């Protein structure tokens, strides 16, 4: 599987995603600078890594709208291929309209990091490899509160916070679009793929992507 890792100005966590696909879940990752991403046709999956894209200015993820990569990403997603936004990448997907809703500042008004218990909906293409219903993943966000005034269908909810610490709509931590091929997750599964670094509860997330799409 050829995985494009899309680097916007301010993206900071691209190398951990690259390393993960190179050495742990075994795919062919390529880091692509956003200005060079006018077409993503050559890839089988696109990942938007965590990191303060455009400095989180205006609203986190918002300024990605001005990048040529956005159009290519929209075309890519319409073809039904998998698109994943990790952490700030989730905010980008919301702002460019590939996922519904918006993000608000944490109720504490401060950046918050730590580990959270998440309940997994194992029926999505991003979670089919999970065996457990409740997992632990790290998070690190100042804008982790997911907001939407129209309810999200159950099938689209990928993970929820067990303790809704950010006061998110429907406790959402991860969700997909209606087509089920675009997924945003505000927690950081890529930081939980090695026992020595942060556990392995994030690994099935990436294995699911490989499993469900690599034959296509």
Partner 1 sequence: MKIAKVYVTLRESVVDPEGTAAKEALHKMGYNEVQNARFGRLIELELDGSAEDVEARVDAMCKDLLINRVIEDYRFDIEEA
Partner 2 sequence: MVEPTAQQVKEEKLYLQMGMTDEEFALAEKMLGRTPNYTETGIFSAMWSEHCSYKSSTPVLKRFPTKGPRVLQGPGEGAGIVDIGDNQAAVFKMESHNSPSAIEPFIGAATGAGGILRDVFSMGARPVALVNSLRFGDLTDARDRFLFKEAVAGIAHYGNVIGIPTIAGEAQFDQSYSHRPLVNAMAVGLLNHEDIQKGVASGVGNTVIYAGAKTGRDGIHGATMSSAEVTIEEEEELPIMQGGDPYLEKLVMEACLELVHYDSLIGIQDMGAAGLTSSAAEMASKAGYGVELNLDLVPQREEGMTAYEMMLSESQERMLIVVKEGHEQEVIDLFDKYGIEACAIGKVTDDKMLRLLHKGEVVAEIKADDLAEDNPVYHKESKEPAYFAEYQAMDNVAPEVKDVKQTALDLLQRPTIASKAWVYNQFDSEARGNTVVAPGSSAGIIRVEGTNKGLAMTSDCNSRYIYLDPETGGKIAVSEAARNLVCSGAEPIAITDCLNFGSPDKPEVFWQLEQSADGISAACLALDTPVIGGNVSLSNEVNGQSVKPTPTIGMVGLVNDLSEVTSSTAQQAGDAIYVIGEALPEFGGSELQQMLEGDIRGRAPQLDLDVEKKRQNQVLQAIREGVVASATDVSEGGLAVALFETVFGETVFGLDVTLRGEAVTALFSETQSRFVLTVREENRQAFEAIVEDAVHVGTVTAQEVSIKGEDGDVWIAGTASEFHDAWKGALECLLNSED
State how far the Cα of 57 lies from the Cα of 168, in Å rounded to an integer.
Answer: 22
163 sits near partner 2 (criterion: CB under 8 A):
no
Task: Provide φ and ψ at 49, rounded to 5°.
Answer: -70, 175
Instruction: Using alpha carbons only, give the angle 187, 147, 95 rounded to the nearest 5 degrees.
Output: 75
State how far the Cα of 203 lies from the Cα of 76, in Å rounded to an integer.
Answer: 24
- DSSP calls for 15-52: HHHHHIIIIIS--EEEEEEGGG-S--TT-SEEEE--S-
46 sits near partner 2 (criterion: CB under 8 A):
no
* Interface segment toward partner 1; rule CB under 8 A; list 29-37, 41-49, 56-64, 190-198: 56-64
Beta carbon nearer to partner 1, 107 or 179 = 107
Beta carbon nearer to partner 2, 92 or 152 = 92
With beta carbons less than 8 A apart as the criterion, state whether 117 and 132 touch: no
Beta carbon nearer to partner 1, 101 or 138 = 101
Partners of 172 in the β-ladder: 160
* Interface segment toward partner 2; rule CB under 8 A; list 4-12, 74-82, 118-126, 204-212: 4-12
Partners of 115 in the β-ladder: 138
Q: Select the residue interacting with partner 2 from 42, 110, 131, 149 (CB under 8 A).
A: 110
Closest contact distance (angstroms) between CB of 116 and partner 2 is: 12
68 sits near partner 2 (criterion: CB under 8 A):
no
State how far the Cα of 87 lies from the Cα of 79, in Å rounded to an integer.
Answer: 24
69 sits near partner 2 (criterion: CB under 8 A):
no
114 sits near partner 2 (criterion: CB under 8 A):
yes
Q: Select the residue interacting with partner 1 from 2, 19, 65, 71 (CB under 8 A).
A: 65
Q: Select the residue interacting with partner 2 from 86, 198, 206, 209 (CB under 8 A).
A: 198
107 binds, among partner 2, partner 1, none (CB under 5 to 8 A by kind): partner 1
């Amino acid at each position: 599987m050829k995985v494009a890792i899309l680097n916007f100005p301010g993206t900071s966590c691209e190398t951990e995603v690259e390393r993960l696909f190179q050495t742990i879940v075994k795919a062919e990752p390529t880091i692509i600078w956003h200005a060079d991403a006018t077409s993503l046709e050559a890839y089988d999956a696109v990942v938007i890594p965590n990191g303060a894209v455009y400095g989180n200015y205006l609203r986190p993820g918002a300024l990605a709208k001005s990048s040529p990569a956005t159009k290519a990403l929209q075309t890519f997603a319409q073809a039904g291929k998998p698109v994943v936004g990790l952490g700030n990448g989730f905010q980008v997907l919301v702002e460019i309209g590939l996922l519904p809703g918006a993000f608000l500042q944490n109720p504490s008004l401060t950046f918050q990091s730590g580990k959270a218990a998440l309940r997994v909906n194992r029926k999505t293409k991003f979670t089919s490899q999970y065996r457990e219903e409740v997992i632990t993943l790290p998070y690190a966000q100042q804008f982790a509160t997911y907001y939407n005034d129209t309810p999200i269908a159950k099938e689209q909810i990928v993970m929820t916070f067990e303790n809704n610490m950010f006061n998110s709509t429907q406790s959402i931590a991860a969700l997909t679009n209606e087509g089920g091929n675009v997924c945003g997750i505000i927690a950081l599964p890529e930081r939980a793929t090695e026992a020595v670094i942060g556990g392995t509860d994030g690994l099935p997330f990436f294995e699911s992507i490989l499993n469900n799409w690599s034959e296509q």
